Structure 1
């Protein structure tokens, strides 16, 4: 993965995660020569960021999922930053969507918001702990 113009593009959490993993694997292959304090701090920040991002929805995303999701958003006429917000945060309620989309009530009907939630939850994988919780809830419902 290559960033063409650093300041010209907004990166999704998925892209940041992939880039950091790539940098981390490249630095571990080069070996441990004398590492400066700044390099050590950068390695720590990268490690902690990767660890955090793996707990968010982006830890389960793939390039194919992201591409499919962005194509599915086409009918909603959203800005790039709004799409990025939806991709990064994976909202599950209309209230969350309203917080991420500017002038949402004027731009989207209630049905469109519900449709958007359906697109988000059907295409984007949930948070890692969330998938397990949903499975447990379904099993409890079947037992009762």
Structure 2
């Protein structure tokens, strides 16, 4: 099978949570029990994750500021940082491939400052 017109986009956990909340409100019309279970379980998981504290504005501001850094991060790496905001240099190493070679210590600290600025409710590993 060949895909002639690929039209896709990646979604952040926040966007998935918002979509599922909308779906949860409309599913009662159709009576799809399996969908209801999946929706409920996924929402339970997402509401215990950092995305519950995020907003569209904070995500947009974070991505804009990260894109302006001198380091070239991929879209996937930025999405991973939105979904799981890093709280330490080690956390950044786990999220960004070859971060030791690609990022200086100063850039890592800049990323951590940007995360703290836009996602202030993210629990710190130092506490």
TM-score, normalization by structure 2: 0.84
Which of 42, 59, 62 is matched with 1:66 structurally? 59
| Post-superposition offset of 1:8 | 2.1
* TM, length-normalised to structure 1: 0.74
Corresponding residue SS for 1:9? coil
Cα 1:65–1:93 change in 2 (3 A) is same
Deviations 1:19-62 (A, max 9, x none): 1011112224x3xx6x3xxx212101101111110111101111
Residues 46 and 52 in structure 2, CA contact (< 8 A), matched pair in contact too: yes
Alignment partner, residue 16 of structure 1: 16
The question of 1:107 aligning with 2:109 is answered no
Instruction: Tell me, yes or no, if structure 1 residue 45 matches structure 2 residue 46.
Output: no
Shift of 1:7: 6.8
Give the structure with higher Rg (CA). 1
Alpha-carbon distance in 2 for matches of 1:45, 1:57 = 20
Q: Which residue of 1 aligns with 2:118?
A: 123
- Please list every run of at least 4 consecutive aligned residues from structure 1 whose deviation after the TM superposition is greater than 6 angstroms: none
The gaps in structure 2 that reach 5 residues or longer are: none
1:91 aligns with 2:86: yes
More helix by share: 1
Q: Is the 8 A contact 1:60 1:126 kept in 2?
A: yes
Measured against aligned partners, the alpha-carbon deviations of 1:36-95 in whole angstroms (never above 9, x if no partner) come to: xxx212101101111110111101111111111111101132100000110001110101
- Which stretch of structure 1 is more off in the superposition, 82-91 or 70-79? 70-79
5+ residue gaps, structure 1, are 132-136, 138-144
Shift of residue 126 of structure 1?
2.7
